Amino acid sequence: MAVSLRRDDRVSVGEIVPALDELYAEVYAEPPYHEGLEEVRAFQDRLADHRHEPGFRLASMWQGDQLIGFLYGFRLEVDAPLWDSLLIRSAGERAESPPLQLTAYVSELLVRAGFRRQGVARRLHDAFMSERPESQVALLAHPEAGPAQAAYAAWGWKRVGYGRPFPGGSEYETLMLFL
């Protein structure tokens, strides 16, 4: 069965939130994340907040009525508190000032297990990037997520530092893509 790409904004994404929640719970229960119900609820809260960020967009791939992957992000304003999570030193202090260029932030990119290594993540990535007016994009990547790290490197992402996706969370790698 063929797969199809869907693009959503802050309003239309409401139609697919239950499917997003379900896929998030499935993918992030796996290693190296081992997330549970508390983290799924935190994702739901983040998505509810992020939908209202400027430039919010979500790209999703479907096989029939089954969600097989999604990527979402938004514009990251220079004064956004999220910069404090993206640019840290190991001791928790800010590593540097946010860049002055317009920056987008990828909050989530995930693909259902049976559909990985088939180009789904790349299609989601390219669909999201093709709509961005910003000159660079940032994301946090789990350092032990080998396949994701390899994909990001192949797509041109560069490690620029370290960050924590939320207070008290593990340290992730901050990656940037310069468009």
Beta bridge partners of 60: 6, 70
Which is higher by pLDDT, 126 or 92? 126
Whether 90 has a pLDDT exceeding 80, the answer reads no
Which is higher by pLDDT, 90 or 175? 175
Mean pLDDT of 100-108: 88
**SS3 category, 122:** helix
**Percent of the chain whose pLDDT exceeds 90:** 77
CATH number, domain of 149, equals 3.40.630.30
Dihedral angle at the C-alpha atoms of 92, 96, 98, 99, nearest 10 degrees?
-150
- The total of structural domains in the chain comes to 1
What is the span of the domain harbouring residue 154?
A: 3-178
CA 123/CA 120 separation, integer angstroms: 5
Residues in the chain: 179
Give me the residue label for tokens 């800010």: 94
How confident is the model over 19-76, as pLDDT tens digits? 999 999 999 999 999 999 999 999 999 999 999 999 999 999 999 999 999 999 999 9
Dihedral angle at the C-alpha atoms of 151, 152, 154, 155, nearest 10 degrees?
120
| pTM for the predicted model, two decimal places | 0.91
Instruction: Locate the DSSP E strands across 85-135.
Output: 103-111
* Separation of first and last alpha carbons in the chain: 33
Instruction: Locate the DSSP E strands across 11-157.
Output: 57-63, 66-76, 103-111, 136-141
Q: What's the pLDDT at 158?
A: 95
H/E stretch holding 160 reads strand 158-163
